[in-house]
Amino acid sequence: MLLYNSPDSGNCYKVRLLLAHLGIDYETQDLDVVDRSDRREKIGNLNPALRVPTIVLDDGRALGESDAILFYFAEGTEYLPVDRYERAQVLQWMFFEQYQHEPNIAVVRFWTHWSKDRVSEADIEAKRQAGYDTLDKMEDHLASRQFLVGDRYSIADIALYGYTHVAHEGGFDMSRFPAINAWLERVAAQPGHVTIDA
């Protein structure tokens, strides 16, 4: 199995984290997240979105979109609830992540680390405010819960952990979010946990 990967991408880290929990072996090929000129050549036939992660299964079939890949590998394991409503709640959090969380928190981190010169301070500030709004919603939810869904660790937690645990790299003041910080510690304490730079 081959994972088209970026070491710094939270989206790719989500997949590496679940595969570590599951003890599944795979190879990686890193793609550049700044110079994307080789994307069509490398993964054009595998993922129309041309994004990483893209995974090629042992039988040659490919999958894209981090959270779809998580769902694929989690089905039938302890990392995805069997209850239909809880499974839909897991997806609700994963769509929340790709719509409200990643486009703000991950993008601010990317801009401030890898492309600062090309982005205006006003654009960064607008996304940072939207990112804080997203973190406020997570904080409210986690204030009375151990994990995002069903009070058990699931791929919903993995999906949100990916960029939340590196949000400070985008300048987010995480001291404002005690419930999130306690949840980050619970996630990192799960058996088989690996760090983003493992």
Residues near a second copy (CB under 8 A): 47-49, 57, 61, 63-69, 71-72, 75, 84-85, 87-89, 91-92, 94-96, 98-100, 102-103, 137-138, 140-141
Least separation in angstroms between CB 76 and a second copy: 8
Nearer to a second copy, 46 or 187 (CB): 46
Instruction: Pick between residue 135 and residue 197 the one whose CB is nearest to a second copy.
Output: 135
Q: How far is 5 from 129, CA to CA, in rounded Å?
A: 29
Q: What angle do CA 192, 194, 62 make, to 5 degrees?
A: 95
Task: Give the H/E segment covering residue 54.
Answer: strand 54-56
Q: How far is the CB of 167 from a second copy (least distance, A)?
A: 17
Closest separation between CB of residue 86 and a second copy, Å?
10
Q: In the 8-state DSSP scheme, what is residue 169?
A: G
Q: What radius of gyration do the chain's Cα atoms show?
A: 17
Greatest alpha-carbon span in the chain: 47
Which C-beta is closer to a second copy: that of 100 or that of 190?
100
Going by C-alpha positions, the residue among 51, 60, 61, 50 that lies closest to residue 10 is 51
Give the nearest distance from C-beta 88 to a second copy in angstroms: 4
